[in-house]
Amino acid sequence: MLICLDIGTTNVKAFAFSDAGGVWGVAERRNRLLTPQLERSEQEPAAILQNMREVLAEVLAQAKQREPLRGLVFSAAMHGLLAIDAAGKPLTNIWLWSDLRAAALAESWRRSETGLEIYRRTGVPIHPMSPLLKIIWLRQNEPELFAKTHKFLGIKEYLLFQLLGKYLSDLPVASATGLMNIHENRWDKHALDVAGLRVEQLPDLVLPTHMEILPKKVAVALNLPVDLPVIIGGSDGALANLGAGATTPGQWAVTIGTSAAIRMVTSKPLTDNKMRTFCYRLDDSRCIVGGASNNGTNALEWLRTQVIGSRRGAGAFAQLAAKVPAGADGLLFLPYLLGERAPLWDAQVRGSFHGLTAQHTQAHFVRAVMEGVLFNLKVIAEPLEAIQPPETIHAGGGFSNSRLWVQMLADIFQKPVCLDGQGVDPSILGALRVACQALNLPDLVDRQQVTIVWPDKTQAAIYAEAYQKFAQLALPF
């Protein structure tokens, strides 16, 4: 049995997999979002640690020790930042990818030569999501706290420190900080100098397959086997491509959860001369190139809870879109509720509806929001098309639970979309694959269970026209 822990922005999840690849247990805890000031987005590290403990205990109880536990592996969200002191005590909350306190700094740096050089070296576009810019903001605005900081970590690095007593970061997560050189696979001296950091203030870099043995004291406290292997794993984005099998030319991965992203694997680092895409590491020989949006299923949830106040569950609410035709009878939605990363890299841009008339109903708004998230991803995908046009798209994240939404993706991109038949998010399956590789076990991800959603050719002209109007609104210059 293997346990995969996914440390996401919205939830902490645990999956127990049998030696045959079946799911024996699933546990989940919701993470509490803190917004102490405008444009700040934080979580308490102690609360995330407690959620991890609880899902571990629950999934172990579900599995009922039917097989020996062979290992524990991690997947985690990117771009978080946590400052700790020399005793390992947090000095800050976790500043999430959606935290915008460094927006003014990012705006001033984005078109500067320093910003472009950092992007070329690290693959991380200049944006307030970047831990590099968060660190610089901290140094400039809270110098006393900055001076006290012993280490800067992400959430996974903090949890690993609690488990192992070591400061470790895998290449996929580290390469999303803006502090790692993706060409050399080490912390970048130029970026560190700009941030005012010493390399000793960052974790040691390791591969996703890196393995440590859980200390006896920790194992006993968590009711885990003594000498249990802990595999560090990677970022949710990189692991999603790996889990979906989207690792060869022509295979793209789309993940839409709270946020959204579209990614492809390359054999070498590739950056964009317009800084439209990111380039992170998958391992020491492959990279993930793509773009991420701040706005995914959160846009539909905003419409459901804050605008309409619907009593329907999320799935039933999304199904309302089936009542109206493709293109939502001309209603378009720009999904920039939280500013935007790709394609605009503008923390101040705002969302809007266009083409609104008296004929539009609640169902039109639902469909327009769902289509708007996908139209935005299609804009993001344009520079990827120039590198390698897709043959197939692999879908994951919360949106993939809606077959209607997945059909929209296939119709808008006019490409077949693959859904994993095991019913598990691709990032979890990617972590499972990494654990199997590290432990020299057979690959437990069953690619034979994939369901393919084919594009509807009759919708192509409708969506092509709607997309052109969307792109003109989103990219007016």
17: CATH = 3.30.420.40
Nearest to 453 by CA among 476, 419, 425: 419
**Per-residue confidence in pLDDT tens, the chain, 477 aa:** 999 999 998 899 999 999 998 999 999 999 999 999 988 999 999 999 999 999 999 999 998 878 999 999 999 999 999 999 999 999 999 999 999 999 999 999 988 999 999 999 999 999 999 999 999 999 999 999 999 999 999 999 999 999 999 999 999 999 999 999 999 999 999 999 999 999 999 999 999 999 999 999 999 999 999 999 999 999 999 999 999 999 998 999 999 988 899 999 999 999 999 899 999 999 999 999 999 999 999 999 999 999 999 999 999 999 999 999 999 999 999 999 988 888 888 888 999 999 999 999 999 999 999 999 999 999 999 999 999 999 999 998 889 999 999 999 999 999 999 987 667 888 999 999 999 999 999 998 876 678 899 999 999 999 999 999 999 999 865
pLDDT at 69: 95
Does residue 202 form part of some domain? yes
171: in domain: yes
How wide is the angle at C-alpha 180 spanned by C-alphas 175 and 185, nearest 5°?
A: 85
CA dist 88 and 451 (Å) reads: 46
Residue 169 lies in a domain: yes
Q: pLDDT tens for residues 26-57?
A: 999 999 999 999 889 999 999 999 999 999 99
Helix H segments across 293-357? Answer: 297-302, 314-319
Residue 168 lies in a domain: yes
Nearest C-alpha neighbor of 331 from the set 306, 312, 303, 290: 303
What does the alpha-carbon distance between residue 419 and residue 417 come to, in Å, rounded to a whole number? Answer: 7
| Within a domain: 278 | no
Half-sphere exposure of 399 (CA within 13 A, CB side): 30
Please give the tally of structural domains in the chain.
1
**8-state DSSP, 178:** T
pLDDT at residue 18, as a whole number: 94
Q: Please indicate, yes or no, if residue 276 is contained in any of the structural domains.
A: no
Query: Residue 80 and residue 99: Cα distance in Å, rounded?
Result: 9
| Residue 347, pLDDT score | 82
pLDDT of res. 445: 81
Residue pair 79/95 in contact by the 8 Å Cβ criterion = no
380, HSE (Cβ side, Cα atoms, 13 Å):
29
- pLDDT of amino acid 448: 64
Beta bridge partners of 71: 2
Range of the domain at 42: 2-234
Q: Residue 56 falls within a domain, yes or no?
A: yes
Closest CA to 437 of 252, 268, 242: 242
